[in-house]
Structure 1
Amino acid sequence: MKAPKNILKTTFYDLVEYFKSADFSKAILLGIALTIPILLGIKLDMLPLGITITVGAMLASPSDVSGSIHHKVAGILLATLLAMAVSLIGAYLHLSLWLLFPILGVLMFGISYISIYGFRASLISFSGLFALVLSFSNISNTMPPYERVLLIGAGGIWYACLAFAWHYIYPKGQTEYFLSKTLKLTADYLRTRGELVGENKDRSELLKKLLTTQTELTATHETLREILIASRTVSGKSDYEGKRLLIFVQLVDILELAMANPVNYDKTDLLYKSQPHQLQNFQDLLFAMSRRLTAVAAYISTPKKLRKSDAMQSYLEKIKNDISKYRATVESKADENVLMLRNLYKYQKDQVKKIRKIEWLLSNSDNSNISFIKKEDARRFLTKQNYGLQVLIENFNLSSPIFKHSLRLGVMTMIGYGVGMLFSLQNPYWILLTLIVIMRPTYGLTKSRSKERTIGTLIGGVIAVGIVLLTQNVMVYGILAIATLVIAFSMVQRNYKAAATFITLSVVFIYALLRPDIFNVIQYRIVDTLIGAGLATAGNLLLWPAWEIHGIHKTLLDTIASSRMYLEEIINFYNKKGTISSEYKPSRKKAFLAMSKLSTAFQRMTQEPKSRQQNLDKVYEIVVLNHTFLSSLASLSTFIMNRPTTPASSNFNKVTGRIVQNLLHSEAILNEEISVEGNSEKEEDIFENTFGKQMRVETSSKSKKDEANLYVQLEEAHLIREQLKWLLAMSEKMPKLLREI
């Protein structure tokens, strides 16, 4: 009986989240931007002008993505300028059929190639492609080209003004949304960690889920980083933004701490078999932390409504007491299970402290006792995009995925428009529209988009036929056209199949207002979509295909190099102690982002044809190996950054030096600089020859103080020893796997 209630509760929660999302608010803004010019055009009997301004607003809207208002407005205006220039050129393409096809191909290639400059540039590029496709339609073609171009520019400026006003009406909107989303994803991550600790015969599915959540979390971190840091860079110091930035820092640290969980589940499984209550308490604590972060996310805007909870502290006390009882039953102070439990307890305690710090930052109204992050230090965490001409020149070859994609798109749009003209289709530009929306640099994403677009269009066509048969009311068509368009734009990033369904409905109802032959519109819409989807898939399969196995080498290289730099920062701090280097957190960020990109690249590889999935098992093995290596680094860094530690020994430096050399060796293999087998001494030999088989920690007396110090030293020796041994073994395995692929 509880299952239906849970489903209803989840559905209601998802709906609430959808209406609160940045995607939905942007869709509402777009709905306003598109509706008002048309209503004014009808009122003033100047509908063609209103429609053209609406087109300009639509062309400017793709660049309105989450980030600083400065970048957002700049992107919208650049998209508007590009749309104006392309629309002017497109207006004269019909003068000569011989010139139309080559110019269409060259323009498609050039505009698409702009996306080499990153995500926001790819959205500006899409505006240009969209403008070129619309120049083939009959929308406002009755007016002179220069007049149409100026009205498109007016529409872009109109949308930029709306976006600017929306930002200042709801200045905290996107910050609150993405901070809440980060809190929820972090809660999901901790819950999955709790499930992993439990008795599982096969942890592979949970590990995949963990990796997926981590990838999404890292991407959300990057968005939130730009919102919080770039806005402070432009607008100066703000206590609100400063507090949110501190909360974000705590969330990044929580992810690192979560990754610092013990990676050797075999040992924890053996312990928990003899001490099942220990497992239950640790699981309960992880689940309690997850619930608390979810609760904080729900009340991020109204922290005073957040009820106090002692659940986390209660579980911590239980764990502490259980460890004390267990320690009393063992003879050796250096018992490995005791040391492992104590280190795990301290890690969980640190997590609870960070969650409490987030709650304190939200509820504390006195800013005098808060140490805000300096603007200069915060800037270091922004990912800077190189917009130099050199980037265009360096990528102007067939080894660049974006170059190949742009070339492919240029050729397929010429073929697509030729097919439309050859068979005298009603709206051949719909084929071009389908191509620019579906075609992506990778085969897997293009194939999935083609499938989702086709299914969505068919579903939308069936629903549209049903509505048209039920009513011929023009007012109903108008309301549905606007409503479905808003829903479609809000769903593009969330569910592309649903977005395609609502886009089809919107297009059909818009045409129903303009033309009486609505069933022909539905028929041709489906036919054009099927042709466009088929051409997009064929193009990615046959024309300069960019298989992931060729690009994953560079992604692996970046991942290993980032992990090495992160390790070097850890080694540097352990040797020098004192203040944490300004390079530490940026190096950690780069390592996490690189790992996220590697996981995404592997996911794309799994979507490719089986014949192109070369060494898939080995690639998966090295992806998991890199993830585990980064987790172990996080464990090591978390310990030495948050605990008073003894001076770094020569043994520590010898083993870490060997690990660094192994990583450099792996990088050299990927760079095809060497082909030698590397070090001949096995990792067991170097580790045991350096550290010995047993831990050796000495204390000068038997006082209680010295006994406490002994435990601290034993914990340090145990964790450092275990992590170094694990890191060394993985670093030795890495070059061997790389040679195989």
Structure 2
Amino acid sequence: MHYALSLRTFFYSHYFHLGLRFAAGLIGVTLIALPLSDMNTAMTVCIGALCTALMDMPSPLRHKFNEMLASVLLCTGVTLIISLCGPYPWLLMPMMVAVSFFACMMVVYGKKSMPLQLAALFIMTMSMEHTMTVRQALSHTALFLLGSVAYLGYAMALAWLLRHRIKQQVLAEALFELAAYIDIKADFYDTRFNLTEQFNRLVRHQSLLADRQQASRDLILRSHQNRKDAIVVQIHVCMLDLYELVLSTHTDYAQLRTHLADSPVLKALHDLAYKAARDIESVGYAVARKQASTQAIDYSAELAAVESHIEQLQQQVAAGAPVHEALAVLRAQHNKLRAIIRAIGDLHVASQKEYEGTPFWVDADMQPFLSQQQYELQLMLSHLRRDSPVFRFALRVALAISSGLAVAEWLPYAAHSYWIVLTIVIILKPSFAMTKQRRSDRIIGTIIGCVITALVLKFAHYTPVIVGVLILATVATPTFLYVRYRYAAIAVSVMILLQMHLIAPGNTDLVMERLVDTFIGAAVATLFSFVLPNWEFQSLPRLVRQVLEANLRYMESSFELLQGKCRNDFRYRIDRKRLMDSLAALSAAMVRMLDEPASKQRAAEDINLFVVQNYLLVAHVAALRAILRRHVKDIPAGPVNALLEHSHVQVCKPLARALAPHGGGAPAAPDAPAPEQQGEAVAWPGWPLVQRRIRLLQADAEKIIVHSEAIGRNVSAV
């Protein structure tokens, strides 16, 4: 369950605070405008504030201002254009198609442009209902602009006052997602769970965790000038170090289950991981409440149980039992879990102490870690081509809206065609899978919202009660918009229907008409989801290549770091982030593809295995770092670096071969001679562990090329 849906954490999440901020701004703007004008004027001002509020998301202050100002200017322009075209149906239709197309082309700027696109299409649909003179259109646009600017000023003032609080909330969310990630890893020790299915869950959660960590980076690493900011920076850095330790815990779970299936040690390992997740949650909970956290969880019983079983296995090995591998794996897991517990302790300490300076890489350029805000017209123009997914999506939406308007003209009742268009705008998304999910949520949410509204209007005739429900719905709409859209669809249906009732009471057919309009809009959106479609398998070759390129860069920086050729791990962290981002993008595309028609699915199993093998390479590198740190005393630098250098060649060679033209057709270079095998000669306790990880690393690198070639064959097959 999402952390923000738990009652314990809901009221401290930035989602709930967004809902409060959103509702307070809209209601405040309306209440200020209402005594100075009539209801229609106040609602125009309110809608202006609403369109700007859709861009009110956690962002760095400069980015936030740019995003919200873009919404003010764009939506004001759309309002003016559609209002002026209102009296001329022959002009209104093509103008709406043009606005729809342009708004959808903005998707090219990434995820943050989606609310801007929605705001532009929303005000387009709301403005199309009115027939105005030129003077009225200018006055209407001025009132809309007034509401937009008022909310912009309100939101920026709050964002500046609460800038540190928002950082804490976003950081807390990243910590909760890391805890959920460890919960999935804990179930690897539970024999009731299938290992393959569990690993698939882990990889898919990786994309969500990567997104939350990036949101934390963007807010925390851009500006951290005071001592309070230093605390969240330190917690953030400790969280990333902890994350790498968690990655290193991946091991041969099948072997553990085979040798230790009847032993209570597996439950002890599971309980250690489960307690670690709860411990991290306690840090997240404390950060969300603006408090320092202290470590209250006791791991001693589980650690003692694991240590006891290690002693038993050592006795069995001494007696000649073939459990050497199980002993090595269990001992390694015990050491890694101890390291994780220590890192969680550092996380607690980081929340307690105020640092004089910012505890991060000194004089380092943070830009590679941060999302870049670029809204260049040339980027949009470069996608004005038939094979561009964004161009096809924009055309698809424009055609769907045209059809929705045409259908509305034939309805037997006095339909508000904007509801049909709004339903199309909300449901029709760039991918088929997103459209399918949004359609389901929209229909179910609208039905429930209409039922709730009908009950309120039937049994609550007292206006303050209706206004109270309206306020609750206004708070709930943005709160659940990014957490559980179905809940947001319920709230927005209640909100709009009650607003319409307050403006024009007495329309008994209001709820039923909105239901019919929703079903019509959903039907049109579903039909046009098959028009100029962009199936996910078409993007797979590009995404696979991005993963291979990122992995090759990551391996280069990893081996430089492992061999001590770098002053610090800055480049390594950047390349690891880029690899994780590319893996998250590929994994998300695969998940969306599985929601598409079966005839449009390609190489799902190979994609999954490809993602897993790349993920394993990251886990092996993290494990190697942990081994070298743990056994740093008397490390034999010569033999270790020779082994790492040889492994570097053997790992990077298949990755480069997979990137060669024509899908790996380049001839393989002859293997480099292996260094002298001196496993027994090197008297260093970490030597066998390094050798074992190197073997696993090389084997998994070879498998990557096999799966990448299989994906290429399956995608290109007719």
| TM-score, normalised by the number of residues in structure 2 | 0.91
Please list, as runs of the form range in 1=range in 2, the aligned pairs for 1:590-601 lying within 5 A after superposition: 590-601=578-589
Secondary structure at 2:575's aligned position in 1?
A: helix
- Structure 1: tracts of 5 or more residues without a match: 1-6, 700-708
Measure the CA separation in 2 of the matches of 1:269 and 1:157.
62
Distance 1:103 1:526, change over 3 A: same
Q: Is the 8 A contact 1:257 1:351 kept in 2?
A: yes
Q: Which residue number in structure 2 is paired with residue 715 of structure 1?
A: 689
Secondary structure at 1:380's aligned position in 2?
A: helix
Q: Which residue number in structure 2 is paired with residue 156 of structure 1?
A: 148
Measure the CA separation in 2 of the matches of 1:664 and 1:174.
43
Please list, as runs of the form range in 1=range in 2, the aligned pairs for 1:182-221 lying within 5 A after superposition: 182-200=174-192, 202-221=194-213
Distance 1:738 1:254, change over 3 A: farther
Q: Is the 8 A contact 2:316 2:323 kept in 1?
A: no
Distance 1:405 1:188, change over 3 A: same
Q: Which residue number in structure 1 is paired with residue 534 of structure 2?
A: 546
Q: Is the 8 A contact 1:697 1:713 kept in 2?
A: no
Measure the CA separation in 2 of the matches of 1:476 and 1:303.
35
20-29 vs 73-82, which deviates more? 20-29
Distance 1:106 1:12, change over 3 A: closer
Measure the CA separation in 1 of the matches of 2:327 and 2:133.
79
Q: Which residue number in structure 2 is paired with residue 267 of structure 1?
A: 255
From 266, 278, 283, the equivalent of 2:270 is: 283
From 112, 117, 123, the equivalent of 1:131 is: 123
CA distances 1:42-96 after superposition (whole Å, capped 9, x unpaired): 3234433322221110010111111212211221111001111111111122233
Q: Which residue number in structure 1 is paired with residue 499 of structure 2?
A: 510
Secondary structure at 2:686's aligned position in 1?
A: helix
Q: Is the 8 A contact 1:108 1:409 kept in 2?
A: yes
Paired letter, 1:298: Y
Paired letter, 2:162: Y
Q: Does 1:341 align with 2:333?
A: no
Count of equivalent residues: 708
From 463, 474, 479, the equivalent of 1:485 is: 474
Secondary structure at 1:518's aligned position in 2?
A: coil
From 237, 242, 259, the equivalent of 2:230 is: 242
Measure the CA separation in 2 of the matches of 1:375 and 1:487.
43
Q: Is the 8 A contact 1:488 1:500 kept in 2?
A: yes
Q: Is the 8 A contact 2:231 2:353 kept in 1?
A: no
Secondary structure at 1:544's aligned position in 2?
A: coil
Q: Which residue number in structure 2 is paired with residue 312 of structure 1?
A: 299
Measure the CA separation in 2 of the matches of 1:309 and 1:486.
35
CA distances 1:537-576 after superposition (whole Å, capped 9, x unpaired): 11111x1101111012222221222122111111222334
Q: Give the C-alpha shift of residue 595 in structure 1.
A: 1.3
Q: Give the C-alpha shift of residue 499 in structure 1.
A: 1.5
Q: Which residue number in structure 2 is paired with residue 4 of structure 1?
A: none
Q: Which residue number in structure 1 is paired with residue 279 of structure 2?
A: 292
Secondary structure at 2:430's aligned position in 1?
A: coil
CA distances 1:414-466 after superposition (whole Å, capped 9, x unpaired): 11112112336421011111111111000111112112111111122222222
From 338, 341, 347, the equivalent of 1:358 is: 347
Q: Is the 8 A contact 2:317 2:323 kept in 1?
A: no
Measure the CA separation in 1 of the matches of 2:79 and 2:506.
28
Distance 1:252 1:649, change over 3 A: closer
Q: Give the C-alpha shift of residue 368 in structure 1.
A: 4.8
Q: Which residue number in structure 1 is paired with residue 171 of structure 2?
A: 179
Measure the CA separation in 1 of the matches of 2:133 and 2:552.
58
Q: Give the C-alpha shift of residue 314 in structure 1.
A: 5.7
Distance 1:284 1:32, change over 3 A: closer
Measure the CA separation in 1 of the matches of 2:256 and 2:504.
69
Measure the CA separation in 2 of the matches of 1:100 and 1:370.
56
Q: What RMSD over aligned residues (CA atoms) do the two structures have, in Å?
A: 3.1
Measure the CA separation in 2 of the matches of 1:405 and 1:230.
34
Q: Is the 8 A contact 1:662 1:735 kept in 2?
A: no
CA distances 1:501-537 after superposition (whole Å, capped 9, x unpaired): 2211112211111223432211221111111111111
Q: Which residue number in structure 2 is paired with residue 665 of structure 1?
A: 657
Measure the CA separation in 1 of the matches of 2:323 and 2:453.
72
Q: Which residue number in structure 2 is paired with residue 3 of structure 1?
A: none
Q: Does 1:42 align with 2:31?
A: no
Measure the CA separation in 2 of the matches of 1:561 and 1:510.
53
Paired letter, 1:721: R
Q: Is the 8 A contact 2:51 2:148 kept in 1?
A: yes
Paired letter, 2:605: D
Q: Give the C-alpha shift of residue 495 in structure 1.
A: 1.8
From 542, 559, 565, the equivalent of 2:547 is: 559
Distance 1:467 1:594, change over 3 A: same
Q: Does 1:416 align with 2:404?
A: yes
Distance 1:470 1:284, change over 3 A: closer
Q: Which residue number in structure 2 is paired with residue 473 of structure 1?
A: 462
Q: Is the 8 A contact 1:562 1:587 kept in 2?
A: yes
Paired letter, 1:327: Q
Secondary structure at 1:452's aligned position in 2?
A: helix
- Structure 2: tracts of 5 or more residues without a match: none
Measure the CA separation in 1 of the matches of 2:271 and 2:460.
56
Q: Which residue number in structure 1 is paired with residue 648 of structure 2?
A: 656
Identical-pair percentage: 20
CA distances 1:109-166 after superposition (whole Å, capped 9, x unpaired): 1122122112222322222222211211349989722222222222112112211222
Measure the CA separation in 1 of the matches of 2:282 and 2:110.
35
Q: Which residue number in structure 1 is paired with residue 243 of structure 2?
A: 255
Q: Give the C-alpha shift of residue 193 in structure 1.
A: 1.3
Paired letter, 1:596: A
Q: Is the 8 A contact 1:190 1:287 kept in 2?
A: yes
Paired letter, 1:193: K
From 612, 632, 635, the equivalent of 1:624 is: 612
Measure the CA separation in 1 of the matches of 2:36 and 2:328.
79
Q: Give the C-alpha shift of residue 384 in structure 1.
A: 2.1
